[in-house]
Amino acid sequence: MAKQITKKVTWVGKVDWELTTFHGDELSTKRGSSYNSYLIKDEKVALIDTVWLPYDKEFVAKLKKEIDLKDIDYIIMNHNEIDHSGALPELMREIPDTPIYCTKKGEAIIRGHYHEDWNFVNVKTGDTLPLGESTLTFIEAPMLHWPDTMFTYMSGDNILFSNDGFGQHFATESLYNDTVEQAALFYEAEKYYANILNTYSPMVTKKIQQILAMNLPLDMICPSHGVIWKENPAQIVEQYLKWADAYQENQITIAYDTMWQSTRKMAEAIADGIRDTDSSVTVKLFNVAHEDKNDVLTEIFQSRAVLIGSPTINYGFSFAIGGLLEMIRGLKFKNKKAAAFGSYGWSGEAVKQISSHLAESGFEVVNDGISKLWVPDCTMLDECRNFGREFAKNL
């Protein structure tokens, strides 16, 4: 059902309570998501973004209840990943000549996806589109998080339509940031940042500074996923600036895999040692093979140091640790210290290999790690505790 946001703006998106994964299986979405589309009715009518492909017919049918499609003067595509452009073909079948405003890269991406010669209008930062009492201003935001991304600012209502930026995979029927559970909202916003945007943090900082320098009055931020930031929208902007600046809390995350519990015992002994040295630090342990990988990555994002553990298997580390290390490499975490640990039976390569991966991924690896043969006994576990103590002292 459509929801009126201001006198001129109506939310015409889709709340997807069933979504459990996104980007294939790359990202878990345990709280669902939404695909936010916005209809602006001024003297001219503009539609901002569409919804994901499975909901294309539903989207167009609901849109028809809000407006005669022929009365839509402009379609604004802030970003053209399929979760936002998927309903475009269904819509364009009805209004094939309506101009689509997007960046040059946006046009290339739409053409590459749908192979249609629609009426594209390329826009750049600072270009404007008067709608009547209000005017749209376009702001290119490349790599937040695709090369085509742009934001659209609406004067009068003072709304920034930010697409993925400031979004969260968070299904809600209540639409606004002050009407949902705050801890869950901020967790999902952080998880979204850590898993999707962190790798582009330098661009995030630059773009936010550029927008702040424009001194635009801001009453609302309307992203393309999750809640609308209506109550104090500056709070999520400030939070993004913190997240983009090599974010860390006083936390150490120990992420491990274990075959016969030896590496788990090492993890727990190391955690004991860390707590002996620094009782103020939050230490969290995750068996990566059983945990949600994106939650573990979010914990790593907010940590000042990480320990990654794996038994040696087939002359290397485990499948679960391999997947985690590859995702860590891509997300380009900054300003974090690290070390490796693990049990082994004969060859014992895992610790060295994990250390190398972490160093290549930008972590400061503070020691050579610790390996223990077969099942660690009391002496070996004491050595792990000492390892934890020394690791904490080095932070």
Catalytic residue positions, numbered: 23, 79, 81, 83, 145, 164, 192, 225
DSSP, res 228? B
CB of 221 to ligand FEO, least distance (A): 15
Rounded to the nearest whole angstrom, what is the least distance from the CB of residue 283 to ligand FEO in the complex?
34
Q: Does 83 participate in binding ligand FEO (rule CB under 6 A)?
A: yes
- The stretch among 79-87, 89-97, 360-368, 379-387 that binds ligand FEO (CB under 6 A) is 79-87
Nearest-angstrom CA–CA distance, 383 and 341: 12
Write the interaction track for ligand FEO spanning residues 347-366; mark x where CB under 6 A is met and - where it is not: --------------------
Residue number, 90 or 164, with CB nearest to ligand FEO:
164
Q: Which residues pair with 40 in a beta bridge?
A: 9, 46
**Residues in contact with ligand FEO, shown as a per-residue x/- string from 145 to 164 under the rule CB under 6 A:** xx-----------------x
- Does residue number 16 form part of the binding site for ligand FEO (CB under 6 A)? no
Positive/negative CA dihedral, 72, 77, 81, 84: negative
By CB under 6 A, which span of 81-89, 113-121, 180-188, 301-309 interacts with ligand FEO?
81-89
Sites for ligand FEO among residues 201-230 (CB under 6 A): 224-225
User: Taking the CB of residue 84, how many other CB atoms lie within 10 A of it?
Assistant: 24
| Sequence-separated (6 or more) residues with CB below 8 Å from residue 54 | 86
Chain position whose Cβ is nearest to ligand FEO? 81
84 touches ligand FEO (CB under 6 A): yes
Residue 64 belongs to what H/E stretch?
helix 56-66
Least separation in angstroms between residue 225's CB and ligand FEO is: 6
- Residue with smaller CB distance to ligand FEO, 88 or 252: 88
Q: Give residues with Cβ within 8 angstroms of 282, minimum separation 6.
A: 249, 250, 251, 252
Nearest distance from C-beta of residue 300 to ligand FEO, angstroms: 22
Using alpha carbons, select from 124, 24, 21, 10 the residue that is nearest to residue 66.
Answer: 10
**Interface with ligand FEO: number of residues (CB under 6 A):** 9
Say what the alpha-carbon torsion angle 258, 261, 264, 268 is, to the nearest 10 degrees.
Answer: 180
Closest contact distance (angstroms) between CB of 237 and ligand FEO is 19
Minimum distance between the CB of residue 144 and ligand FEO, rounded to whole angstroms? 9
35, 52 contact by CB (below 8 A)? yes
Give whichever of 99 and 147 is closer to ligand FEO, judged by the CB atom: 147
Per CB under 6 A, does 191 bind ligand FEO? no
* DSSP per position, 84-122: HHTTHHHHHHHSTTS-EEE-HHHHHHHHHHH-----EEE
Question: How many angstroms from the chain centroid is the CA of residue 201?
Answer: 11
Stretch that binds ligand FEO, among 78-86, 113-121, 128-136, 323-331 (CB under 6 A): 78-86
User: CB under 8 Å to 156, separation ≥6 — which residues?
Assistant: 8, 133, 134, 135
Residue 79 in the binding site for ligand FEO (CB under 6 A): yes
CA dihedral sign, ordered 12, 162, 139, 330? negative
Do residues 117 and 23 lie in contact, with contact meaning Cβ atoms separated by under 8 Å?
Answer: no
Which CB atom, from 79 or from 385, has the smaller least distance to ligand FEO?
Answer: 79
Q: Rounded to the nearest whole angstrom, what is the least distance from the CB of residue 145 to ligand FEO in the complex? A: 6
Single out the residue of 42, 56, 81, 148 in contact with ligand FEO (rule: CB under 6 A): 81
Pick the closer one to ligand FEO by CB: 197 or 358: 197
- For ligand FEO, the closer of residues 207 and 225 by Cβ is 225
Tokens 């994002």 label which residue?
301
List interacting residues with ligand FEO (CB under 6 A). Answer: 79, 81, 83-84, 145-146, 164, 224-225
